[in-house]
Structure 1
Amino acid sequence: MKNESHAELAHALWPDAKQAPVKLLECRHCGRRNRVQVSRAILDPHHCECGACGEPLFLAPGEPLTGIASSAYEHPLDRTTLAALKGIPGFPTLIRWVMTQLGERSLRLLNLSSAVLCGDDQFPELVALLERSRQSLDLGLRPTLFLSESPHINAATFGSEEPWVMIHSGLLDQLDDTEVVSVMGHELGHMHAEHGLYRMVAVVMASGTQLLGTVGQVLSFPLQKALYKWMRCSELTADRAGLLACRDLGASLHVLMKLAGGSRPGITRRTKMQLAPFIRQARTLAKLEEDNWFDGLLATLMTMDSSHPFVAWRVMHLLEWVEHGNYLEILAGHYERAKRPAAA
């Protein structure tokens, strides 16, 4: 599927150009505040220059977001649901139990036993895409990369001390390289935000109370629901990281559309999936939830047992961040930096 041109994407996102949002962005070179149309900043950032000094307003494509903290792009729902999760009685006990009984070693051994370990001599092309994402986000830690056979568009990240990324082969069938970079950035966002430990606990919880024994029987229900709620919200943070890694809104949106409808031969030989109707679908969802609280409640109930939110909900939140959040401020070099260790 050939992605839209900049003009087609602009029309898909903002059919009425006059209604495209506008932001005030400070030039990192001279401090002058510039009024920038979001559509131009997103689709043609190379030609956005400061009106005072003439320097580029935005970082160059692929230029690292030096020292960026995960909190700079963390979704508020991720932060609040994780805080609520940590406050549930019994959660610290479960964390200690999982790390004592399982740790990360068992899951890593499972990957080594059933998937392909990628490196310089095994699928270096895929490793290069991961490295491209890692450098864009300026992450020092290099995760291990595994390739797993599966027809589904999917990827996963686990581990905290020695994190790894698992890519499903079906993803490579349906996404181009820029879209794969977006997925890689999504997974690295989980790693950067230190989601790995809690996601591993969620996997253990989902495996049932037999694995957890008596502890699981007592704690599983409230913790499992709280873990799933947090996992759904953590995906919104990771989606932002994916966009920051590829810096191509069209690619990130196409990934989400393909997650919803796929891009298999039976689809591509019949039609070209259009992004504009899909975006209208997400904006319709946003309006329904805004106008009627019961629709939002229904969505919550329908996803209660799911680790991922509805795709259209993810599109809605990503677009809201691009249009009204701090996405462009980050690309303009204004973001929270991670604290560096004090010198000895």
Structure 2
Amino acid sequence: MSTLKTPLIGLRADHFRHPLDLEATRALKQIPGLDLLVRNLLGSLAEQVFYLENIASSILVSDRQMPQLHTLLQEACQILDLEPPELYVRQNPVPNAYTFAIRGKQPFIVIHTSLLELLTPEETQAVIAHELGHLKCEHSVYLTLANLIILAAGQLPNLGGLLAQALQTQILEWVRCAEFTCDRAALLATQDPRVMMSTLMKLTGGSPSLVSQLNLEAFIDQARAYDQISLTEMGEMLKQAQTAARTHPVPVLRAREIDRWAGSQAYQTLLHHRSIQYNNEAKPVGGWRNW
């Protein structure tokens, strides 16, 4: 079944950036020299390493290679008003997707095959749009730093431990806040909160053999029930302890945030404002293909 969606021409990151992301980003920018360290000292080498790894061990998506995925990428970029990055598909049994861009050169997104096996085309586009959100908001510098700190802590116990003690808490807090923003980008691209929440449900406890037994309404109720834990001081402390060392917010919290934002006046106003403002300039993007 086809769904028409309106491109959000002129969309800027600040139109949908989550307040927690904005606050955490400002805090990181107060650390002297942090951007320069990653961009100038680490960026060039990291880009070359990742490019070689992708070309050697992944499939580059194009109009000639996995054209359905290429169409999903192009549509999401048109909606979010973003130049398309390269998209690679990599054989991996762990469902995951990630993005990389540091020095303004060609950014890329990688999606694991196991994730594609788990999701519908609509949900796959939500994942792609989530990664595009990182690019739209220029998150990649701090994402790279987060990965390097985690790696350093594991591979270089002394130096890494010192780095981790100084930056890990603040970096991980920022990463979790940035994920909320990128979930909003995914919602703007799909323009259907159920698609986004269904994606999170499958990433929480799904597998190809269990998909037919999953119930989205029950998962949404589960996400809403998560709020009840915060009604007590002990519950709120346990929630904070649970997430402190994570790179992503817990899935039910992400679903709850999307549930809230999709029902907010801010989200509805954004969609209405952009579609009205550019109604004479842009035509709706074609809907989903049947795979």
Distance 1:315 1:134, change over 3 A: same
Check if 1:315 corresponds to 2:259.
no
Closer, same or farther: CA 214–86 of 1 in aligned 2, 3 Å = farther
1:208 aligns with 2:152: yes
Secondary structure in 2 matching 1:102? helix
CA RMSD of aligned residues (A): 2.6
Task: Count the aligned residue pairs.
Answer: 273
Question: Against the structure 1 CA distance between its residues 210 and 184, is the aligned structure 2 distance closer, same or farther, given a 3 Å change threshold?
Answer: closer
Q: Over residues 175-208 of structure 1, what are the superposed CA-to-partner deviations in whole Å (9 max), with x where a residue is unaligned?
A: 1111111111111111100011111111111112
Equivalents in 1 of 2:237, 2:228: separation in Å?
14
- CA distance in structure 2 between the partners assigned to 1:76 and 1:276 by the alignment: 27
Partner of 2:85: 143
Aligned to 1:296, which of 206, 231, 236? 236
1:273/1:87 CA distance change after superposition, 3 Å: same
Whether contact under 8 Å (1:133, 1:184) holds in the other structure is yes
TM-superposed CA distance for 1:106, in Å, is 1.9
**Which of the two has greater helix per residue?**
2
Tell me the distance in 2 between the aligned counterparts of 1:100 and 1:178: 33
- State the TM-score, normalized to the length of structure 2: 0.85
TM-score, length-normalised on structure 1?
A: 0.72
Partner of 2:207: 263
Contact 1:182 1:245 in 2 (8 A): yes
Q: Distance in 2 between matches of 1:227 and 1:294?
A: 25
Q: Deviations over 1:110-146 (max 9, x none)?
A: 222221122222212211111111111121x220111
Runs of 4+ in 1 over 6 A off after TM superposition: 210-215
1:55 alignment counterpart: none
Measure, in 1, the Cα distance between the counterparts of 2:26 and 2:222.
32
Map 1:105-144 to 2 at 5 A. 105-139=48-82, 141-144=83-86
Select between 75-84 and 204-213 the one with higher mean Cα deviation: 204-213
Q: 1:252 to 1:215 in 2, by over 3 A?
A: same
- Distance (whole Å) between structure 1 residues aligned to residue 84 and residue 158 of structure 2: 37
Rounded Cα–Cα distance in structure 1 between residues aligned with 2:154 and 2:214? 44
SS at match of 1:191: helix
Q: Confirm or deny: 8 A CA contact 1:65 1:136 kept in the other structure.
A: yes
- For residues 270-297 of structure 1, the C-alpha deviation after alignment (integer angstroms, 9 at most, x for no partner) is x5211122111111111322x1243233
CA contact (8 A) 1:282 1:312 kept: yes
Q: Kindly state the Cα deviation for residue 245 of structure 1 after the two structures are TM-superposed.
A: 0.5
Does residue 280 (structure 1) correspond to residue 224 (structure 2)? The answer is no
Identity over aligned pairs, percent: 34
**Gap regions ≥5 residues in structure 2:** 278-291
Give the aligned partner of residue 246 of structure 1.
Answer: 190
Task: Give the superposition deviation at 1:304.
Answer: 2.1
Highest CA radius of gyration, 1 or 2?
A: 1
Secondary structure of 2:133's partner? helix
Unaligned runs of 5+ in 1: 1-59, 338-344
Measure how far apart 1:218 and its partner are.
3.7
